[in-house]
Amino acid sequence: MEQSRAMVTEGENQARQCTTAFDEILGQVETLDRLIGDIVQASLEQNKGIGEISEAMNEINASSAQNSTVAHEASATALRMKEQVNLLENQIRSLQIFLRAVQNEESPQGKKPEEKVLPNELEWDEAA
């Protein structure tokens, strides 16, 4: 009987050690489960952040393309306006020459016509 009691006591001790070991393992598994949950949550947040960055980059690319188009259109418009200014300047010069010729024809014979400055003539000469 003594031997049976010793064996029962030894079994109880081993059972307690197993329970303690299982409790430690369970605690570590819970910690590991919590850490895995944190990693999953961080991965989801990171994935969401990457999606937002990707969306922002797409918007920046679209905006850059639109700005480029506007810049090209503005440049083309500026060139057309410059051509029109040049044409207008040439027409004004031609008109000034014509008006001088008309003034010279109207002057009395034998007298040299007075040099007359036409309106805005000085401004155009200075701009040229």
Residue that is written with structure tokens 């001088």 in the block = 100
List per-residue pLDDT tens for the chain, 128 residues long: 888 888 889 899 999 999 999 999 999 999 999 999 999 999 999 999 999 999 999 999 999 999 999 999 999 999 999 999 999 999 999 999 999 988 888 765 545 555 555 555 545 555 44
Q: What is the C-alpha separation between 59 and 63, in angstroms, rounded?
A: 6
Q: CB-based contacts of 77: which residues, under 8 Å, 6+ apart?
A: none
The pLDDT, as a whole number, for residue 128 is 46
CA 57 vs CA 3, 16, 23, 117: distances in Å: 79, 61, 50, 61
* DSSP tag of 69: H
- The region, left, alpha or beta by phi > 0 then psi within -120 to 50, assigned to residue 96 is alpha
User: Is 25 exposed, middle or buried (CB count within 10 Å of its CB: 0-12, 13-18, 19+)?
Assistant: exposed
Q: What is the C-alpha separation between 9 and 19, in angstroms, rounded?
A: 15
Q: What is the pTM of this model?
A: 0.49
Q: Which two tokens stand for residue 72?
A: 């090209």
Domain boundaries, the chain: 2-107+115-127
